[in-house]
Amino acid sequence: MSIPETIAPEAPFEDAHHGLGLLIERLETVVVGQRPLIEKLIVALLAGGHVLVEGVPGLAKTRIVRALSQALDLPFRRIQFTPDLLPADLTGTQIYRPSSGTFDVRPGPIVTSVLLADEINRAPAKVQSALLEAMQEGQVTVGDETIILPETFWVLATQNPIEHEGTYPLPEAQLDRFLFKVLVGYPDRAAELAMLDLPSVAETSQPESRPDDEPPLFNPEDVIRLRRLTASVRVADSIKEYVVDLVRATRDPEAYGLGLAPLIELGASPRATISLVRAARAHALLNRRDYVTPHDVKSLARDVLRHRIMVSYEADAEGLSVDDVLMKILDHIPVP
């Protein structure tokens, strides 16, 4: 595979389209059957938003993230979250130097560009609080010292939807900091057969531990320029109104003629409105456009909103999930 030139300072759309196409091709040679997840991770990267991935073990989530960070030439760290994890295990600690009588800060694994927080819901509240500061403020506090994280800092967190013993529900404030909550299912039969032909599967019993030896396609400066280019994607006023109506319908469904008020306990915050526009811009860029369409919004609305609203006990009694409620809203709000 040929490597494109790094993106020029003016970041033309043509160069970005070419490079992103090669990035998807690279990731699909590493992991098969997960094209939707690959595209959503790239959209989140372009939008500069963190991602919560929910899926059972063995779906190559770690492998995708490691391959993506390698292709972008970004430092990667993985943290296995456990109930006995301490905030210092994440942020770092202070070490006393007897010779000088001072404390030096030893940064923790959170000081990186791409952080994979594996089974994030197993960590206690104090650890979640430390991670929340990093996700929202782009910094961590160790003792009386503040460490500024890289501009490319990006959190991809995973959680198992089946296992609940020894887990802690993520607080609403932290969930709201994730751009996406992506649900990952099993690959189809053809993709699962294709997995058996991957070289790494034939050579080792632990394919996810093998590094990708191909050179990077981008560098950290390219990632920053891609995000700036994403922010320049045009959004028409009618699209903005459509996004606002979708989000407000989760808070006040009766105002939009939806009989969903008894089913929604908590609607999405204004941060959801901003996040949906950011994601739609990135989706448009990935699809080789410099303007947003209603399809960009509808394609990502559930991923942006499903973790930001709470359904009521009545919805649970009727067997309706968050996605079911969101589909009713998407089907009802007029598309511009």
Burial class of residue 313 in the structure, from the number of CB atoms within 10 Å of its CB (0-12 exposed, 13-18 middle, 19+ buried): exposed
CATH 3.50.50.60 fits 13-227, yes or no: no
Which of 8-17, 200-209, 311-320 is predicted with the least confidence, judged by mean pLDDT? 200-209
Give the tens place of pLDDT for each residue, 120-131.
888 888 888 888
CB 279 within 8 A of CB 44: yes
pLDDT band at residue 143 using 50, 70 and 90 as cut-offs: confident
The arithmetic mean of pLDDT across residues 325-329, rounded, is 93
Per the DSSP assignment, residues forming a β-bridge with 254 are none
The arithmetic mean of pLDDT across residues 187-214, rounded, is 65
CATH 1.10.730.10 fits 233-332, yes or no: no
Please tell me which residue, 29 or 274, carries the higher pLDDT value.
Answer: 274
Mean pLDDT for the chain overall: 86
Give the tens place of pLDDT for each residue, 9-39.
444 778 888 889 999 999 988 888 888 999 9
pLDDT of residue 11: 43
Please tell me which residue, 175 or 206, carries the higher pLDDT value.
Answer: 175
Location of each CATH 3.40.50.300 domain in the chain: 13-227
Helical (H) or strand (E) element with 121? none
Which of 58-62, 190-194, 196-200 is predicted with the least confidence, judged by mean pLDDT? 196-200
Location of each CATH 1.10.8.80 domain in the chain: 233-332
Per the DSSP assignment, residues forming a β-bridge with 118 are 80
Q: Is the pLDDT of residue 99 over 60?
A: yes
Could you tell me the two tokens for 252? 């006040």
